[in-house]
Structure 1
Amino acid sequence: MAVEMKVAAIALDAASRLPIVILRDLHDRRALPIWIGKAEANAILQALEGQKSPRPMTHDLMAGLCKEWDLHVEKIVIHSLQNNTFYAIITTRRGKLRKEIDSRPSDAIALALRTATPIWAMEEVIAEASIPVDQEADEAEREAFRDFLDTLNPNDFISNK
């Protein structure tokens, strides 16, 4: 069984300094934290805050392609957790043709926010990985993450290997 979720916050893991997207069920009883990359966190945060880039970012491009090709993004489902990695599916429809596309949850969430698409998580995933809800911490975590983003520059995303 799947549970509809909403993006509650973007937070920063205090130990690893990695961003986390926090999903909550619609009744605010359960929260599902998913560790994500910096670029995806920024894309999700931009969508949450209604910010528009001067040029389309990757998820804006995906949403634009869907619109231009009359491809409806019906839902995303975070369907499993394996070896500490979450897995998601993007369900699309064009006419009567329906396709499921494998996706990282962070990319699926960023696309869902841009296309007003419902976000779902399987009950088994929530049961395994959910945390107690603490609504007071959300705004402080969001502010800490904004401060962290302000310190980033493009070289932070370049690998020196």
Structure 2
Amino acid sequence: MTGVQISVSLQDLGIAEAFDRMAAGAEDMTDLMDRIGSVLINGTRDRIGTTNVDPDGTPWPQSLRVKEFGGKTLHLSGELLASVTSEAAPHEVTVGSNKIYAGVHQTGATITPKNGDALSFTLANGERVVAGSVTIPARPYLGISEAEGATIEDVTGIWFNDLLGIGGR
């Protein structure tokens, strides 16, 4: 090449240091996963306590108690809502509930008698029922809504920008 030229390396621009910070930060993203867990907990609690919709926005089937007496499905005592927690690790976050009935509400279930031919129970209105089985519909409360996904993208972008020393987006 004739004339004049300039050579620039990543080291000259401080980009290498930024990449090193990014790589080091990506090895343990527990703090980021904790922030994402908070987003998911808030969304889950909103679904249980306020909106009664799936993460995709589909309304849950109302419980018989709610149909007869009002209130919110999955929110009689508030125990399910209060039990939702998260656990962050370097590359993932787990959100859920330790309540024994939590999975039934998330995925639905059919309950059949262990012994005998029928189940016998009392409904919320006091009516006594005998049935061969009972189906509890799924009411998914765990998951990522579109709005939560967008918030997670924002939180992740801010976290990596902070690693790079860029600041706000």
Q: Flag whether TM exceeds 0.5 (same fold).
A: no
Larger radius of gyration: 2
TM-score by length of 1: 0.22
Q: Which has the higher strand share?
A: 1
Q: Which has the higher helix share?
A: 2
